[in-house]
């Protein structure tokens, strides 16, 4: 059973932030400091729901320090280790804010932009809100990238007017909390659930807003991240399960979707299938066995995903090359992917 600390007083929250924390005693302060350094009038309008996913280091102790000092904004939720998706589910369950955002405990936010974004969240009524994000390279100790969107900012737009000109990423995204709750959005408990967080609510989205200030700071080049080669091999089965879930969910709602949302989901699942292809190419087996596995994966995407998802999958460069060479390009693509991890 999860143990949840209750806030000492009630206040209207504009933004709920779900923070996933597992053995992050050396990094969680960076995350929490980025919130609590905001002006008090801003801090009072947000809640930071930190789910400690069965940590065995001093993560829980550190979070308790912040909870004691900021009882109206920081809440600790303890649970046995269940996986990244479960921490988001926990956050959704306990969220009281108008909007909901997830953030990994080893990342943080741009404090100086939080006040403006909270002000904008008070004014908008969009179902989904996007902001810019920054990428911080741990090895180089600096910001190396900023990503955003080429759509009108600071106004509510029809989702169908812009959705197929953008690529929505977890780090840029906030949803109305009531949409997540009312539609029973629940992620799988394992790894690779970022795309579930992005795609599962989209069938219920009608409006979108974009604020161009960067909020999320995403840390890369850290040992143990889920996109490392060792981690991808270890969690390959979970990645395939997430892809299967997304296909299942698409077919469950397909007939109720408008054409533009349907197109967005088809293309997003096709990209996810290409990411799974990359995982398959990293599989630690012999050449002939791997070639057979890749062939079987293509057949599975076509039969399980259907014609439209399969066509989207084949737009990927690696998928196209493998199909054109009758899978003889497997060794070449395998070496190319391996090089990117060194």
Domain CATH number, residue 162: 3.90.550.10
Reading the block at residue 45, the tokens are 């309008």
Regarding whether 233 and 215 lie in a shared domain, the answer is no
What's the Cα-to-Cα distance from 102 to each of 73, 85, 95, 139, rounded to whole Å?
15, 10, 11, 24
Q: What is the mean pLDDT of the chain?
A: 92
Of 100-114, 209-223, 260-274, minimum mean pLDDT range: 209-223
**Whole-angstrom Cα distance, residue 108 to residue 32?**
8
State pLDDT tens for residues 92-115. 999 999 999 999 999 999 999 999
The range of the structural domain enclosing residue 175 comes to 3-220
Q: Tell me the pLDDT band of 225, cut-offs 50, 70 and 90.
A: low
List, for residues 174-212, the tens digit of each pLDDT value. 999 999 999 999 999 776 789 999 999 999 999 999 999
For tokens 């904004």, name the residue: 73
Residues whose CB falls within 8 Å of the CB of residue 65, separated by 6 or more in sequence, listed in order: none
Report pLDDT for 9: 44
Report if pTM > 0.85. Answer: yes
185 and 329 both lie in a single domain: no
SS3 274: helix
Number of domains in the chain: 2
Residues near 131 by beta carbon (within 8 Å), at least 6 away in sequence: 113, 117, 148, 172, 174, 210, 211, 212, 213, 214, 215, 216
Judge if 120 and 235 occupy the same domain.
Answer: no
Q: Do β-strands 15-21 and 99-104 pair in parallel, antiparallel, or remain unpaired?
A: parallel
Q: From 196, 220, 244, give the residue that closes a domain.
A: 220
Measured in degrees and rounded to the nearest 5, phi and psi for residue 98 equal -65, -40
């Amino acid at each position: 059973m999860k143990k949840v600390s209750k806030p000492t007083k009630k206040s209207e929250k504009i933004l709920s932030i779900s923070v996933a924390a597992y053995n992050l005693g050396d990094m969680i302060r960076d995350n929490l400091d980025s919130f609590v350094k905001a002006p008090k009038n801003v801090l009072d309008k947000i809640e930071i729901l930190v789910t400690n996913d069965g940590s065995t280091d001093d993560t829980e102790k550190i979070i308790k320090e912040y909870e004691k000092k900021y009882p109206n904004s920081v809440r600790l939720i303890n649970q046995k280790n269940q996986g990244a998706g479960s921490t988001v589910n926990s956050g959704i369950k306990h969220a009281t804010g108008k909007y909901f955002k997830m953030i990994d405990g080893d990342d943080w936010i741009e404090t100086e932009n939080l006040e403006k974004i909270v002000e904008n969240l008070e004014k908008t009524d969009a179902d989904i809100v996007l902001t810019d994000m920054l990428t911080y390279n741990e090895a180089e100790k600096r910001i190396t990238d900023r990503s955003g969107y080429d759509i009108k900012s600071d106004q509510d737009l029809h989702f169908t007017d812009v959705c197929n000109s953008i690529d929505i990423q977890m780090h840029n995204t906030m949803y109305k909390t009531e949409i997540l709750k009312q539609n029973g959005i629940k992620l799988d408990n394992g790894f690779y659930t970022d795309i579930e967080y992005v795609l599962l609510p989209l069938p219920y989205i009608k409006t979108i807003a974009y604020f161009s200030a960067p909020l999320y700071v995403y840390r890369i080049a850290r040992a143990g991240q889920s996109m490392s080669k060792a981690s991808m091999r270890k969690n390959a089965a979970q990645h395939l399960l997430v892809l299967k879930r997304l296909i299942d969910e698409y077919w469950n709602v397909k007939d109720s979707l408008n054409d533009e949302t349907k197109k967005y989901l088809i293309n997003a699942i096709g990209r996810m299938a290409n990411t799974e292809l990359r995982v398959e190419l990293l599989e630690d087996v012999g050449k002939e066995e791997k070639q057979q596995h890749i062939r079987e994966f293509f057949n599975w995407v076509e039969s399980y995903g259907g014609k439209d998802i399969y066509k989207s999958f084949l737009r990927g460069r690696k998928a196209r090359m493998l199909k054109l060479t009758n899978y003889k390009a497997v060794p070449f693509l395998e070496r190319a992917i391996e090089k990117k991890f060194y």
